[in-house]
Amino acid sequence: MGKVTIEVDSKWVKIVHSPLFWIMGSMQGLAIGFAPLFLYFAGKGMLPRGFNWIVVPLCFAVIWLVGLFYTRLGGEVMAELRKMPKVGA
């Protein structure tokens, strides 16, 4: 197995080294674990009365933002990998 070095835009390097990346990392835990759980509770009517109007949109926003962030970052990496010549196979 060999090593591959890729070049990504400098904005992604700044983002990965900034506190925003830590925030997105913590939001990832929310998007995977707690947001679906709270959506389940909201659907079953198990949340305190009056909280559905804020909890449901926040859950969807967290899931969407985390997915968008990592999809864009992964897209940049994949685009650079596809530019490289095939090795081996």
Per-residue pLDDT of the chain (89 residues; tens, 9 = 90+): 678 888 888 998 898 899 988 998 888 988 888 999 999 999 999 988 888 899 899 999 999 999 999 999 999 999 988 888 876 65
* Tokens found for residue 64: 């969407």
SS3 for 80? helix
Long-range pairs for 12-21 at CB < 8 Å and ≥24 separation? 12/73, 12/76
How many other C-beta atoms can be found within 10 angstroms of the C-beta atom of residue 62? 19
**Identity of residue 50:** G
Whole-model pTM above 0.85? no
User: What is the greatest pairwise CA distance in the chain?
Assistant: 60
Query: What's the Rg (C-alpha) of the chain?
Result: 18
